[in-house]
Amino acid sequence: MSTALERRPVRPARPARPVRRGTETASKVVVNAVLGLMALYTLIPLWWLFVSATKGSGYLYTGTPLWFSHFDLFTNVKTVFTFDHGVFSTWLANSALYSLVGASVSTLLSAMAGYALSKFTFRGRESVFNVILASVLIPAPMFALPLFLLMAKLNLTDSYWSVLLPSCVSPFGVYLCRIFAAASVPDELLEAARLDGAGERRTFFGIALPLMGPALVTVFLFQFVGIWNNYLLPSLMLNSASRLPVTVGLVQWRSEFANGVPPLLPVTGALLSLIPLVVAFVCLQQFWRKGLTAGAVK
């Protein structure tokens, strides 16, 4: 029996299947082509905006739309800031106020709520989180009319509070902070702090909050951009030109061409309104990337 097994011929190993390099190369070309088209779709409007803002008065619709002609950017910028007694500066200040205050308060509240939902056990915790998660799925414009009716009932319309108060809540921020708190704040570290005599307030602000830094930057950036670009809510809440953000003000300029507003004003104003967003992303991008990958290796 053993002799028969020993004499059994050994089958040669099957050669490895050749790698289809042609198929892989074709797939890479297709993927890169799709990504390139998406990049062009994103960058071409920004390039058109920049080129158009540099053209002289009366040359917006002449020449090549995507290339420079009759360069007069500095005059356009000066006209934007001096037109209508410098109201554009007021709009920029209002947008900065709404975005900075709303994003800061929203980030703090999101961190506190996410930390509590992650580290404390209480009755109804999952129900509360499910309600917050469901509100993330509801489009933001659907809240505009109920918020307007609520602010009208409280006599807060056409005031700074009518835009600031709704901007201080971010369901997505609560969701992200809960995930990040569970991934980056060890329970053992919190227990050690409590054993050393630290209260819950000191434990949160002294230990948990610094560890949640990347998530907080991410929430702040998302909320800052969302408030800065928000148009529907302030257009419903505000009537006074002195309280309008830059988004609503530029649309008003766009609709007042017949009243003597030059066509280049809203174009140049839109370009200038992008600068704070670019600066925020450039300064905080490294923290933003860390926050986006929070919990990926949990």
Burial code (b: 16+ CB inside 10 Å, e: under 16) for 122-144 equals: eeeeeeebeebeebeeeeeeebb
82: left (phi over 0), alpha (psi -120 to 50) or beta: alpha
Length of the chain (residues): 298
The rounded distance, in Å, linking the Cα atoms of 145 and 62 is 41
278: pLDDT strictly greater than 50: yes
Burial code (b: 16+ CB inside 10 Å, e: under 16) for 35-46 equals: eeeeeeeeeeee
The rounded distance, in Å, linking the Cα atoms of 200 and 202 is 6
What are the tens digits of pLDDT across the range 68-79?
777 888 888 888
Locate all alpha helices (DSSP H) within 54-86, ordered by sequence.
Answer: 73-82
130: pLDDT strictly greater than 60: yes
What CATH topology corresponds to 78-292? MetI-like fold (1.10.3720)
Domain ranges within the chain, ordered by starting residue: 78-292
Average pLDDT over residues 286-292: 60
Q: Judge contact between 162 and 253, C-beta under 8 A.
A: no
Phi and psi at residue 71, to the nearest 5°: -60, 125
**Contacts from 18-22 at CB under 8 Å and sequence distance 24+?**
none
Computed on alpha carbons and rounded to an integer, the radius of gyration of the chain in Å comes to 28
> What is the pTM (predicted TM-score) of this model?
0.81
What are the tens digits of pLDDT across the range 136-158?
888 878 888 888 899 988 888 88
105: pLDDT strictly greater than 90: yes
Average pLDDT over residues 93-112: 93
What pLDDT, on the 0 to 100 scale, is given for residue 2?
46
Average pLDDT over residues 266-270: 86
